[in-house]
Amino acid sequence: MKQVEIKNCIFGNGDPKICVPLFGGSREEILETAGVMRKEIDRLEAIYKDKKVDVIEFRADFFDDVADRIKLGELMDSLREIFSDRLLLFTYRSEDEGGELRHDRAESMIEDIWEWVITGKMADIIDIELKSGNYRVARAAVKAHEAGMFVIMSNHNFEKTPHDEEILEMFREMEILGADILKIASTPTSRFDVERMLELTKDISSGKIGSDYINHPIVIISMGASGARTRIECRKTGCAMTFSSIGNGSAPGQIGLEEMMTKL
């Protein structure tokens, strides 16, 4: 499986990367939270010297002014300063896939928002949801690569865990559409679903299945408390990245950063 290197951070090399989400409504709230996160990350990294937070995910769907290009750019510049030594991931999660409900219907402008982020090089990585439509997804991925940005292509299912074949087909589509990192997050309805996702991650990352069409690092997560193992057993399974939290999490079952550092 191909490794992906972004500013000396290598995904898919057997060392799972830790991503911490950042969210808030106003600029002031977001920057205040970012300052608290920065201090906590520095504190924990001083204790757990072999662990590092590699990626900060800005969840733009929570931001009140996400539909304002200038305000969005100014905020991203500020986050760049605070997290200058980390990768910055820009995510606008749609309502259908668990994003924050927006009254201004900003997600109807998602192509414009992606364009602003890409042309302004506001982040190192951009999250693009697979179900946004093949043409829109492929076009955004091409533009991101032309700008020197990388693409996480994602799918989130809050109702069930898809069958293995369906997940493999989504990964195939992501590869075709230009993903650099492939991500699936789903909701388990039984312990069997969690076990199945652990095994599927192992099988794909080891090349046992899908090796003829899955070439990039994968992220497979079972959400909720019952799926916590998929977040902390990444070294065993080959999952390229895990998501942890400082304070409130952005998805069901996210584990606090300190606990993650002790278990990962």
Cα–Cα distance between 202 and 234 in angstroms, integer? 9
Cα–Cα distance between 29 and 77 in angstroms, integer? 16
| Residue 250 among known ligand-binding residues | yes
Contact 89, 152 (CB under 8 A): yes
| Residue 102 among known ligand-binding residues | no
Q: Is 181 helix (H, G, I), strand (E, B) or coil?
A: strand
| Residue 69 among known ligand-binding residues | no
| Residue 171 among known ligand-binding residues | no
Q: Which residues contact 8 (CB under 8 A, 6 or more apart)?
A: none
Q: Is 163 helix (H, G, I), strand (E, B) or coil?
A: coil
DSSP 207-253: TSSSTTT--S-EEEEE-SGGGHHHHH-HHHHT-SEEEEESSS-SSTT
Strand partners, 108: none
DSSP H or E segment with residue 186: strand 181-186
| Residue 254 among known ligand-binding residues | yes
Residues recognised as catalytic: 156, 183
| Residue 59 among known ligand-binding residues | yes
| Residue 3 among known ligand-binding residues | no
- Residues making up the annotated binding site are 57-59, 93, 231, 250, 254
- Residues making up the annotated binding site for 3-dehydroquinate are 57-59, 93, 231, 250, 254
